[in-house]
Chain A
Amino acid sequence: MCSEPAAPASMIRARGLRKSFGDFEAVRGIDVDVRRGEAFGFLGPNGAGKSSTMRMVAAVSPVSGGELRILGMDPAVDGPAIRSRLGVCPQEDTLDTELNVRDNLYIYGRYFGMPKKEVRERVDELLEFVQLTDKADAKVEDLSGGMKRRLTIARSLVNRPDLLLLDEPTTGLDPQARHVLWDRLFRLKQAGVTLVITTHYMDEAEQLCDRLVVMDKGVVAAEGSPLDLIREHSTREVAELRFGVAAEGGSHEAIAEKVADLGERVEVLPDRLLVYSADGEEVVAKTVERGLRPVATLVRRSTLEDVFLRLTGRTLVD
């Protein structure tokens, strides 16, 4: 019955992809390739164009310019066929709060044209997978935030998608709920599902993504694996120096000048200085030798947050 094309090399292929809302350009010409079986991330702050990109990839929002192919098909022509093979976990839970947990999944499966018996079996399987079997008959409004997210993920899997789109999957969850969710997503990845994740949490991107693009103001600022991006755009370690500004008799900017030669570069944040160097301990030691007295110091490995800061001059959550 279906005339789908042979498995494409790229699950998602975008060239010069644009999205405008009136005069505002949310996405300003991005190139992206997502390969089968990988976990691909869009990392960037709020307003970077991640969600607009995601809505175009979900074959819901029409493309304003450029080229987009999802599973080898054009969303403008084959939207329903594309969506039948996608799973979408939106940023905001769109569960029917008046239905119970099981009915939310069952009804959703029916939208895909799945036979009743098959959906029922699938629902039991998914409830087990997201650890909600004992909540099957509970109302959605009685679930915790983490449970609702897991239910939304279960719902997005009901049609056994080739490609799972997760828009800010753990925003608003407590740390424990985030780890439970990451574990489930990691299992999906191992089962061969291609994941596309947008997030403004760098730890989430590092945990889950094989490859990612850093987005800022509607464009791709950098692309690569988390490790490659860190190697390319940052140093091995970072020394974080916090000063009681009044006591040092100067602003953070003034102090930054005094330690500038200790690392490859220095970033001035409102509450601290970041000195990028291969040896963070040495930076701290030399800072103290120069008579500067930081009230707190921390030496850590570089993260994607540092990459983002380097590329855009801003922090991810601002």
Chain B
Amino acid sequence: MAATDRTAPDTRGDLPLWTGIARQADYWWTVYRRTWRSSVVSSFLAPLFYVVAMGVILGGFIEGDPDQLEGASSYLAFVVPGLIAAHAMQTAVGETTYPVMGLIKWQKVYDSMLATPLQVSHLVGATLGFVLFRLVTTCAVFTAVLAPFGVYESWWGPFLAFLAQVLTGMAFAGLVYGVTARLQSESAFGLLFRLGVFPLFLFSGAFFPVDNLGGVGSWVARLTPLWHGVNLSRMFALDNVTWWLAGVNVAVLLVLCVLGWSWSVTGLRKRLVS
């Protein structure tokens, strides 16, 4: 067996980020082929159940008053954009907790990757890239499936709402990835879901206008990242955009994405490159 006619080595210095990410495409594609069937249930069926139960059936008992529902003419139209944004959060958190812990600790796939020319930022980049892919497919399918229900007020609204939902997911992906990289054990995930994800899901404006939480409550809700995503998604879907507020929402989510990236890369580097 020839041992000497080796592959051309990489150039000296750091490997460009995009090169490092692209080299993992086959890995993530293989992961997706392996897991897409099970992800169909969590990605599409579960949220669809929510839409039917909360939006259609429960919503049937709620009067469609645009003044009470942030401009929505029905409860279904109100709840759908918020629900997809909240679902984007859940998808992102799901993909950056147990699966990332597996890559770091259980299967040590990251360790094997770091023995190649790949660097820590490439690992984070490709994993978050996969989360982005999951968010894009999930939110796009969801948005398309709900179009016939007449919940969108303009043709362009769903597209911008879709971008808002993906951005919401990515803001959470970076933050939670950074937490996972610093956790020694998966036992804290239960706490994260119960005290973080679940309250956000319920109280960040996905199911009812946050003004219903009262003076202090509504402002606390407005400080949560998910509210910014829900609000942005809903304003676009309902064609009821307050542009300065949309600007604030986008800025908050973008800042969280940038902070999340940095938090993730430093966390993983500290964990694996000691």
Interaction A to B: yes
Provide the residues of chain A in CB contact with B19, threshold 8 Å. Answer: 113
Partner of B117, one of A61, A80, A99, A155: A80
A42, chain B: closest CB distance, angstroms: 18
A159 vs chain B, min Cβ distance (A)? 5
Who on chain B is nearest to A115 by CB? Answer: B7
A96 located at the interface, meaning its Cβ lies under 8 Å from any Cβ of chain B in the complex: yes
Q: Which of B4, B10, B113 has the most CB of A within 10 A?
A: B10
Bound complex: CA A206 to CA B257 (Å): 54
B4-40 vs A: 1/0 string, CB under 8 Å?
1111111111110001000111110010001000000
Which of chain A's residues 252-296 have a Cβ closer than 8 Å to chain B?
Answer: none
Segment of A104-112, A212-220, A235-243, A303-311 in the binding face: A104-112
When chains A and B are docked, how far (Å) is the Cα of A188 from the Cα of B4? Answer: 11
With an 8 Å Cβ cutoff, the count of chain B residues facing the other chain is 37
A112 touches B7 (CB 8 A): yes
**Within 8 Å of chain B (Cβ to Cβ): is A142?**
no
Number of interface residues of A (CB under 8 A): 52
State in angstroms the CA–CA spacing of A90 and B110 once bound together.
13
Closest B residue to A93 by beta carbon equals B108
**A26 smallest CB distance to B (angstroms):** 11
Interface residues of B in 107-133 (CB under 8 A from A): 107-109, 111-119
CA distance A95 to B3 in the complex (A): 22
A4 partner, pick from B5, B12, B107, beta carbons under 8 A = B12
Q: B144 in the interface, Cβ–Cβ < 8 Å?
A: no
Stretch at the interface among A9-17, A81-89, A175-183: A81-89
Contact B26 A83 (CB under 8 A): no
Decide yes or no: A2 and B8 within 8 Å by CB, A96-B109, A97-B107, A113-B23 being known contacts.
yes
Q: Does B191 contact A (CB under 8 A)?
A: no
Q: In the complex the two chains form, is A3's CB within 8 Å of B3's CB?
A: no
User: Given the known A-B contacts A60-B114, A62-B273, are A162 and B6 also in contact in the complex, defined by CB atoms under 8 Å?
Assistant: yes
Type the 1/0 row for A181-195, where 1 means its CB is closer than 8 Å to any CB of B. Answer: 000000110011100
A60, B15: Cβ atoms closer than 8 Å: no
Does chain A have a CB within 8 A of B216? no
Q: Which of A27-35, A71-79, A196-204, A223-231 contacts B (4 or more CB under 8 A)?
A: A71-79
Question: Given A60-B115, A88-B115, A159-B6, is A96 in contact with B107 using a C-beta cutoff of 8 Å?
Answer: yes
Contacts of A84 in B (CB 8 A): 7, 9-10, 116-117
Chain A residues, Cβ within 8 Å of B242: none
Residues of B whose CB lies within 8 Å of any CB of A are 1-15, 19, 23-27, 30, 34, 107-109, 111-119, 273-274
18 contacts between A and B (CB under 8 A): A4-B9, A77-B13, A81-B11, A81-B117, A83-B115, A84-B9, A84-B117, A94-B111, A96-B107, A107-B27, A110-B24, A111-B116, A113-B19, A118-B7, A159-B116, A160-B5, A187-B1, A191-B4
A residues sitting closer than 8 Å to B (CB atoms) are 1-4, 21, 58, 60-62, 73, 77-81, 83-86, 88, 90, 92, 94-99, 103, 106-108, 110-114, 118, 125, 129, 155-157, 159-162, 187-188, 191-193
